Amino acid sequence: MALARAGLDRLLSWPADLLRVLWRLAWMLLHLSHGMALIALRFPGLDAAGRQALVQWWSLRLLRLIGVALTVHGQPRPGSCLLVSNHVSWLDIATLHAACPQARFVAKSDVLGWPLLGWLIRNVGTLFIERERKRDALRVVHEIARALDRGETIGVFPEGTTGPGAAVLPFHANLLQAAISVQATIQPAMLRYSQPGQRFSWAAQFIDETTLVVSIWRVISARGLQVELRFLPPESSAHAERRALAERLRSQIQRALDQSA
């Protein structure tokens, strides 16, 4: 009898669940379109502070519309800084922009092919890298170094790809050389997606053969999806050896993940 009642409850809740997901999807698509309009029409007339305020507002609203609750610990360092984070989801940039809107990110050139999202990511000042070409990595290192020298904040994901969430993949050290060359400050940041009963959310994972469309559907279908963003203490990169620095940063983020609630 109890099993039958549970099955009936699931059946009765299914139309409501589908309606909730479709509602989120519709609002997400509208918000993406709104973002494109804002960048095309308003960005050209705004100063840096105005653009950052708009990026932060848009990112926070995106998370709310798709049912993702954000918790932030610590603060991003202002000014010249290389922000180094673990990489879990296509949502990572929006999550980091919600708390650190001044950051420009380095992303794989594959992102340019994403519908709507690719256009938005490109037009907020993202630097793109073709990881298969070693010479392109050198070009991006020089671009990052120049940006840091101008006092900008640049965000990188040294894993080079998205991971499962619980374990931080080995860091590639190449991009860290940009900070070392201009002795810029480096700040590690930790991202953790969770759900009730899941310390590391399955729905947020964007790994293996998962497509962007499937990942978006999983995220907007999830109940109680939360993301914790923790800014760790900044440190100097002066005279650092990049491989040792990469391992130290990876270990700090892994430790923060292991200790997170």
pLDDT at 7 over 60: no
pLDDT > 90 in the chain, percent: 77
Greater confidence (246 vs 134) lies with 246
Q: Taking residues 44-51, what's their average pLDDT?
A: 94
* 2-259 CATH: 3.40.1130
Q: Residue 28 is encoded by which pair of tokens? A: 């997400």
Q: Are 242 and 176 in contact (CB under 8 A)?
A: yes
Q: Residue 248 is encoded by which pair of tokens? A: 């130290």
pLDDT for 206: 95
Residue ranges covered by each domain of the chain? 2-259
Q: Taking residues 96-118, what's their average pLDDT?
A: 90
Which residue type occupies 152?
A: E
**Range from 133-147, 184-198, 209-223, 236-250 carrying the lowest mean pLDDT:** 133-147
pLDDT tens profile 154-180:
999 999 999 999 999 999 999 999 999
Q: Pairing relation of β-strands 235-236 and 185-194?
A: antiparallel
pLDDT at 117 over 90: no
Name the band, by pLDDT with cuts 50, 70 and 90, for residue 4: very low
pLDDT for 13: 55
Which residue type occupies 115?
A: P
In whole angstroms, give the CA distance from residue 136 to residue 12: 54
Q: Taking residues 45-62, what's their average pLDDT?
A: 96
Within 8 A by CB and 6+ apart from 138, the residues are none
pLDDT for 110: 85
pLDDT tens profile 186-197:
999 999 999 999
Q: Taking residues 117-145, what's their average pLDDT?
A: 86
In the chain, count H helices and then E strands: 8, 8
pLDDT at 230 over 50: yes
Residue 90's nearest CA partner among 68, 57, 123 is: 68
In whole angstroms, give the CA distance from residue 36 to residue 167: 34
Within 8 A by CB and 6+ apart from 153, the residues are 76, 77, 78, 79, 80, 81, 82, 83, 100, 102, 103, 104
pLDDT for 198: 96
pLDDT at 2 over 80: no
pLDDT for 135: 80
pLDDT tens profile 68-101:
999 999 999 999 999 999 999 999 999 999 999 9
